[in-house]
Structure 1
């Protein structure tokens, strides 16, 4: 459940009450009217009705510049919900605005992002060189490159081209920074490049596609259902940092064959994560609020999905060709 507090002109109370009745709010209260003519109104709604409620409130209160809508989570409600209501709550989708606030921060190419990239690249590269899987997993959990991928798909789902471009730039810049740093390690750190962990990041197969698709879908599902703790497992399951670090390391070692193989795995992960997340956002009905924006989002999303599908088809053909040549 969510606690929604509305502060709006007192003349809007009847309209807000109608919205509360339409979404079957579990409680609706009117507060006192202030000297400025503004009135506090309180609703308690189920999670699966939250987005509908917010869209309706924004539509009717959009012309009031001083109106405010506040949303607070309700940790406990007594008496307890019936089992049927609880299962409905658990399956609800996170509100679009809350999802945007959480994911959009990952699209920023700022000081914190750069520091995380540098630290995680150092950790990942040393772990790969030393064949230490625990160290590599530590770098995976930091996962600074997963956020821009999720933000990119969300930007497309909401037809927010500004967010999509910002996310794409952050992702591209982050990958370039990882490659540059790890290439430096490859130049100055003489090492045996045939250990298990390094070689595992140069093996791109059909199973890599399946893993990346499943993990990308899990990441989007964990965010839309409010189960962000699941993301830790996703970060480990489909990590972008190790193949990017391996790509740079092989570049520094001047090994073009392994450089291409690591690059192929990195591209597979990026493509599959974005394809899976946009499909999950579509299924979970993450849409813009207005009809015009929804129409634009459908068009942009169609082009986006088709582009990733074509890219994935090309990658599958490349993998098949490489395997055929080996066998």
Structure 2
């Protein structure tokens, strides 16, 4: 079309073609039998039961677009990681919960986490690699930066807001599972307001910031506890995310691959529970 316009009108002085991307569709396009496109053309189309469970979520194409946007490794992504980590670290250091909540809201880790869950559900290796890479680079950047900060400023590890990020309880596991499921539901419905609540409920940046601060200040054993909390939240998001995506009718390319990935995450969750449970047994 652009070439045709150029041939027809390009000779006219002042002619200009402006191409704008479609940023939104009103009303939102939710998944249906007509919009579900099987990843494998040889597979059967979705049944009415599968379409029923997926009727309230965005189309698969829109989910891909949203996930891809959230896992791009750009300067803005890393800058947001640094800023949110610094805000969270200083908020925990001074015991100001409101500041820590602000850091949770702007933290960019929920998108890559849900991207990993979606990739595991449908068996998309490329999406899984990109989401994992974004999360790993962001997490390493966060811990390294806050380790430097912890070596410069004075840290009191007994501050409740900081100390709470070094302990994992069974309630934290249940909370992370519920929040991971809520995150997928909010993400698949395009509900930004609900996502903000999920970011606050299952925070990933504060444990990483706490780990860096504590390690930089010479409290390595407490730093390990913060990393365990981060790992617990991440594993729970993926376990709950995969199950929720399946419940919503997101069809895997291979059920064997999806089941195997889910079993790996469940095994990791069992190991983490085994590490924290003895402290709560009589």
Q: Return the TM-score normalized by structure 1.
A: 0.70
Q: CA deviation at 1:51?
A: 3.7
CA contact (8 A) 1:118 1:178 kept: yes
Say whether 1:304 aligns with 2:272.
no
Query: In structure 2, what is the Cα distance between the partners aligned to 1:245 and 1:138?
Result: 14
Higher relative contact order (CA 8 A, sep 6+): 2
Counterpart of 1:168 in structure 2 is 132
CA contact (8 A) 2:36 2:60 kept: no
Counterpart of 1:179 in structure 2 is 143
Change (3 A) 1:92 1:261: same
Superposition pairs of residues 214-293 of structure 1, within 5 angstroms: 214-287=178-251
Counterpart of 2:167 in structure 1 is 203
Query: In structure 1, what is the Cα distance between the partners aligned to 2:144 and 2:187?
Result: 31
Query: In structure 1, what is the Cα distance between the partners aligned to 2:267 and 2:40?
Result: 38
More strand by share: 1
Change (3 A) 1:132 1:273: same
Query: In structure 2, what is the Cα distance between the partners aligned to 1:212 and 1:59?
Result: 33
Higher Rg of the two aligned structures: 1
**Relative to structure 2, which stretch is displaced further, 150-159 or 195-204?**
150-159
Structure 2: gaps of 5 or more residues: 1-26, 42-51
Query: In structure 2, what is the Cα distance between the partners aligned to 1:150 and 1:174?
Result: 15
Q: CA deviation at 1:304?
A: 1.2
Change (3 A) 1:268 1:53: same
Counterpart of 1:8 in structure 2 is none
Counterpart of 2:77 in structure 1 is 113
Query: In structure 1, what is the Cα distance between the partners aligned to 2:160 and 2:190?
Result: 36
CA contact (8 A) 1:107 1:163 kept: no
After superposition, the CA RMSD in angstroms is 2.5
Query: In structure 2, what is the Cα distance between the partners aligned to 1:129 and 1:310?
Result: 34
Change (3 A) 1:58 1:100: closer
CA contact (8 A) 2:166 2:207 kept: yes
CA contact (8 A) 2:104 2:203 kept: yes
CA contact (8 A) 2:155 2:214 kept: no
Structure 1: gaps of 5 or more residues: 1-44, 61-87, 289-293
Counterpart of 1:81 in structure 2 is none
Q: Return the TM-score normalized by structure 2.
A: 0.81
Change (3 A) 1:55 1:238: closer
